[in-house]
Amino acid sequence: MLALRDIETLRMRMADGVHLAADVYRPVGPERYPVLVMRLPYGRKVASTVVLAHPAWYAAQGYVVLVQDVRGRGDSEGIFRILEDDVADGARTLSLAADLVGGNGMVASYGFSYHGMNQFLALAGARKSGGKVPDAMAIAMAAFDVRNHWAFEGDGFRLQSNQMWACQMAVENARLAGDLDAAHMLHAALPSLHSGAVSARPDVLEEASRYTHYQDWLADDPSYWRARSPQSLLGRVTLDVPVLHVGGWNDIMLEGTFAAFEAFSAGRGLQRLSVGPWSHIPWGRRVGALDAGAGAADGIDREIVSFFDEALKGRENPYPKVRLYDVVKEAWAGFESLPTAETLVLHLASGGRAAATSIDGTLAEKPGLASADYLVHDPWRPAPSVGLHLGTPPDFADRAAIDDRADVLVYTSDPLDRPLLLTGAPKADLFVTADRPSFDLDCTLSMLTSDGAAISVTSGHKTVKADGGGSPVSVTLRPVHVTVRAGHCLRLSIQAASFPAFPVNPGTGARPQDAAVTDRLVTTLVLRSGDGYPSTLRLPVMRQADAKDSQSHTAEENGHEP
C-alpha cells in the first residue's frame, strides 16, 4: 500500500456558480494516477464506509480519490433535490476531476446506493454536455428505474423503507436549514412513522414537507420518475462504459442491478456482475438465520480495485465476469455470462385447508384434483413482513411460525431426492379471486429443512385490482442463485399483506397508501388449483451438468487469493 499525502479539501464550482465541497486523497510522490470519484448525500466523511473500505485504502492502491458532498448536503452549497441536480453536477465534477492535480486524465466513479444511481446520471450529463465521460464505473446496489427498483414493488408502495429514508434525509435537511426543532421532531418520530390513522401519511412528514421528497413519492407522478430515473435518462445514450455491477440477494434494489447489467451488456463496454448474499447494509458472512461462510466476509473492495486496475491500468483481472454467491454452498460461483436455466413447473394443490394448516397444501410436478383454498385477510392483524429485503430485521429468516398463521396459504413439495440449483427469477401464476375490488399478494419461496425450519429464499409482492376476467395473477419473485439440498422441501407461502413493508390494502379499490385504518375491510381470497385452474410455481433450474461445471469453477476461485 502506498503512503498518502494529507487530505486536501476543495470547493468545486458547478456550472451555475454553486460550490460543492470535496476531499481528495492522494498517494505521496510524483507519479500520476487515475482519479476515482464518489459523490454522496450523507456527508463526505461517511464515504460509503458502511459497506466499503475507507477512501484512504483505495488511494493507497494507486489512485487519487475524490469524495464530494452533493449539492445541498454536508458542506456543499445549494439545495438538495433527490437525483435532480446530479446530471449536471455529476458531469461537471467528472470534467474537473480529469484535470485534478496528481491525476493522469483518466476518471472513474464508484459508490453504493444513491451514489451508485448518481453515477448513471453523471454519465447521462456527460453525454448530453459533451464533457468527460467516465472511463469506468463501479456501481453497487443501485436502482436503474427509481420507481420500480426502489420506491415501489409490484405497484405496492414500500412503506417502511420509504418512510425511514425520507425521515433520515429530512432530519439533515432541517438541521442544515437551522430548523433544529423540526430535526428533533423528525428524529423522535422514527420508531412510529407508520402508526397513524393513515399509515403512509405520518403527520410528522406532512408538517416537515418542505424538507422531504416524501409527498412526491406518494403522488407517484410518472413525469417525476422519468426526470430522475437512470433508465429514462440513459434511454438514448450509448452505453459503452466499462461497469462493475454489484448487488445483493436481499438488497432492496436487486432488480436495478440486473436491469442495468442487461442494458449495459447490449453495448460494447466490458461488463462485470457480482451478487453477494447480503442485504443493503451490512455486507458480511452472517446473513440473518444463515452463516454464509468465509467467502462472504471479505466484502467487495478487492474486486472493485481489480476491476479498476483492469479498466484503467490494463492489468489482468483474476475474477470471473459474473459471480453469484450461493448461500447454501457458502461459495461464489463464477460464469462467463449469466447462466441460463430450464423451467421446472410445480402445481399447487390441497385438500382445501392450505390456510388452516401448514401441512395441507402441496407442490408437485403433476397437477392435482380441483381444489379451492380460502384465505381470510383481517386488516386488524395483517400478516407481517419477515426477513429478506424488506423485513425487520432483513436477510434470510426462518418463517415457519408465520406459515402457521391461518391467514397464510402454504404449499410444500416432497423432500427432494437430489440437490436443486435455482438460478433466476421464480414466478407464481395464481388463479385467485377476492370478494373486494382490490387486494395484495405477497409470495415467499422457502427451503423447508428436516428440522422444520422454513428458510426464506426470495419473495415478490403485487398490488392487484380485481378485473373479473378469470386470468391468473402473475407474481414475479426476485432473482436467486441458491442450492436446495437433497432431503429439503420447497415451500411457497402466500399472504394478503406484508406489513409494515407495504401498507395494508383496504380492499376498497383505493391506493393502499391513501387508506386510513378505518377504511380497511376484511377480504376473502379464493385460490383455485387443479383441473381448469392450473395455479403454478415456475422455478428457474440449472441443469446438473452446468451446475457441476460452475461448482468446479467455484472451488478454484475460492482457493485463489486475488
The whole-number pLDDT of residue 559 equals 41
Residues of the chain with pLDDT > 70, as a percent, come to 97
Is 174 a domain residue?
Answer: yes
Residues 222 and 350 in one domain: no
Q: Is the separation of the CB atoms in 287 and 391 below 8 Å?
A: no
**Is residue 333 a part of any domain in this protein?**
no
Indicate whether 287 belongs to any domain: no
Whole-model pTM over 0.85: yes
Residues 354, 501 within the same domain: yes
Distances (CA, A) of 307 to 99, 106, 301, 313, 354: 23, 14, 10, 10, 49
d(CA 499, CA 506): 13
Based on the fold, state whether residues 222 and 346 are members of the same structural domain: no
Query: Which of 206, 226, 246 is the C-terminal boundary of a domain?
Result: 226
> Range with the lowest mean pLDDT among 187-196, 254-263, 306-315?
187-196
Residues 218-247 pLDDT 10s: 999 999 999 999 999 999 888 999 999 999
Closest alpha carbon to 488 in 399, 416, 411, 413: 416
- Asked which of 207, 226, 245 is the last residue of a domain, the reply is 226
Q: Which of 174, 192, 226 is the last residue of a domain?
A: 226
Same structural domain for residues 210 and 358?
no
What would the grid cell of residue 85 be? 441536480
Three-state SS at 379: coil
pLDDT band for 553, please (50, 70, 90 cuts): very low
Residue 556 has pLDDT above 60, yes or no: no
Q: For residue 498, what is the domain's CATH number? A: 2.60.120.260
> What pLDDT was estimated at residue 206?
95
The answer to whether position 142 is within a domain reads no
pLDDT tens-digit readout, 4-53 = 999 999 999 999 999 999 999 999 999 999 999 999 999 999 999 999 99
In a domain, 326, yes or no: no
Neighbours of 404 (CB within 10 A): 13
The domain tally of the chain equals: 2
Q: Which residues touch 106 (CB under 8 Å, ≥6 apart)?
A: 34, 35, 98, 135, 312
Within-domain flag for 262:
no
- Closest-CA residue to 83 (of 252, 233, 261): 233
Residue 219 CA to residue 354 CA, distance in Å, equals: 37
- Domain that residue 196 falls in: 150-226
Same domain, 362 and 486: yes
Both 488 and 346 in one domain: the answer is yes
**Taking residues 395-403, what's their average pLDDT?**
97
465 domain-assigned: yes
Q: Are 289 and 318 in contact (CB under 8 A)?
A: no
What does the pLDDT read at residue 147? Answer: 98
Is residue 519 over pLDDT 90? yes
292 found inside a domain: no
Q: What is the pLDDT of residues 476-505, one digit of tens each?
A: 999 999 999 999 999 999 999 999 999 999
> In 10 A of CB 556, how many CB atoms?
11
Report whether pLDDT(72) > 50. yes
- Band (pLDDT 50/70/90 cuts) for residue 552 is very low
Q: Are residues 218 and 357 in the same domain?
A: no
Res 547: pLDDT: 53
